[in-house]
């Protein structure tokens, strides 16, 4: 009888301990999963979606320090997620526009009276001090909002070009010149958010003997152009 009682007490202890540990795990998982908005942090998020495009989805997310991620998905391809870091100056510029829009307090939906869904949908989300607001539109005639969208679009263009250049260097070096020509066009048309972001990559290409000489020379010219601010 004594042994049966001891075994029963041991089983009860193990059961109670196990349930306690399981409950603690659930709490820790729930806490770890809380986003920046619920903890009062600041986040900026841009999502572009258009099933007609070869890249139907692009997403940018970063916090007040400029650190975050850039993800995109090409048709019939896997989602690619890369680390992102934008400058403090760019974060300040985004904040300035959001303040100009009075974004968190505004009730404007920014959608133009006509539907242009064939252009794709833009979803912008901003969270600050425990407050969060999200808007979705496919076209807007609000010029201030257009400035904000352009910044995010240029970040997406920039990070896409960085990814493509890094990929061709590793898998298809002979295609590097073509990627640099695209980059030059994007730089000239002011579609790169922060040209200096490309400096380390171009410096690497300039000295990379695995890529064609024409690419190394082109990288040198682009570096000089960026340094001059052109």
Query: Are residue 105 and residue 204 in the same domain, yes or no?
Result: no
Q: Which domain holds residue 222?
A: 172-230
Percent of the chain with pLDDT over 70: 82
Q: Are residues 176 and 218 in the same domain?
A: yes
Angle 213-228/176-188 helices, nearest 10 degrees?
20
Q: What is the helix, strand, coil percentage profile of the chain, to 5? A: 55, 20, 30
42 and 145 housed in the same domain? yes
Asked whether 166 and 82 are in contact (CB, 8 A), the reply is no
Stated length of the chain: 230
140 pLDDT more than 80: yes
Residue 66 lies in a domain: yes
Model confidence at 167: pLDDT above 50: yes
Query: What Å distances lie between residue 26 and 36, 63, 182, CA to CA?
Result: 19, 27, 49
127 in the same domain as 48: yes
Strand order across the 67-73 sheet = 79-85, 67-73, 57-63, 43-49, 121-128, 131-137
Distance CA 86, CA 83 (A): 10
Q: Flag whether 229 is in a domain.
A: yes
In a domain, 29, yes or no: no
Q: What is the pTM of this model?
A: 0.82
Q: Which of 182, 175, 181 is nearest to 211 (CA)?
A: 175
Question: 177 with 147, same domain?
Answer: no
List the single range of 31-35, 101-105, 108-112, 212-216 with lowest mean pLDDT: 31-35
Instruction: Evaluate whether residue 54 is within a structural domain.
Output: yes
Domain co-membership, 59 together with 133: yes
22 belongs to a structural domain: no
Residues 195 and 111 in one domain: no
Q: Does one domain contain both 182 and 117?
A: no
User: Do 147 and 211 reside in the same domain of the chain?
Assistant: no
Are 136 and 183 within one domain?
no
Band (230; pLDDT cuts 50, 70, 90):
low
Number of domains in the chain: 2
Q: Are residues 146 and 176 in the same domain?
A: no
- Average pLDDT, stretch 36-57? 85
Same domain, 181 and 227: yes
Q: Are 219 and 210 in contact (CB under 8 A)?
A: no
Within-domain flag for 119? yes
What is the CATH number for 139?
A: 3.30.1560.10
Helix (H) or strand (E) holding 140: none
Mean pLDDT of 150-154: 98
């Amino acid at each position: 009888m004594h042994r049966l009682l001891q075994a029963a007490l041991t089983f009860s202890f193990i059961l109670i301990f196990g349930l306690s540990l399981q409950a603690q795990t659930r709490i820790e998982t729930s806490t770890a999963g809380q986003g920046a908005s619920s903890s009062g942090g600041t986040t900026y998020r841009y999502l572009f979606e258009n099933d007609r495009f070869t890249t139907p989805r692009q997403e940018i997310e970063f916090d007040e320090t400029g650190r975050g991620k850039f993800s995109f998905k090409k048709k019939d391809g896997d989602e690619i997620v890369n680390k992102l870091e934008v400058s403090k100056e760019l974060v300040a510029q985004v904040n300035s526009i959001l303040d100009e829009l009075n974004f968190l307090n505004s009730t404007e939906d920014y959608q133009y009276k006509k539907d242009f869904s064939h252009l794709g949908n833009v979803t912008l989300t901003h969270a600050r001090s425990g407050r969060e607001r999200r808007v979705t539109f496919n076209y807007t005639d609000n010029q201030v909002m257009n400035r904000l969208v352009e910044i995010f679009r240029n970040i997406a263009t920039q990070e896409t070009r960085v990814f493509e250049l890094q990929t061709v260097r590793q898998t298809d070096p002979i295609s590097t010149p073509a990627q640099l020509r695209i980059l030059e066009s994007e730089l000239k048309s002011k579609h790169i958010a922060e040209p200096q972001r490309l400096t380390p990559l171009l410096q690497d290409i300039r000295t990379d003997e695995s890529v064609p000489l024409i690419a190394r020379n082109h990288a040198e010219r682009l570096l000089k152009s960026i340094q001059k601010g052109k």
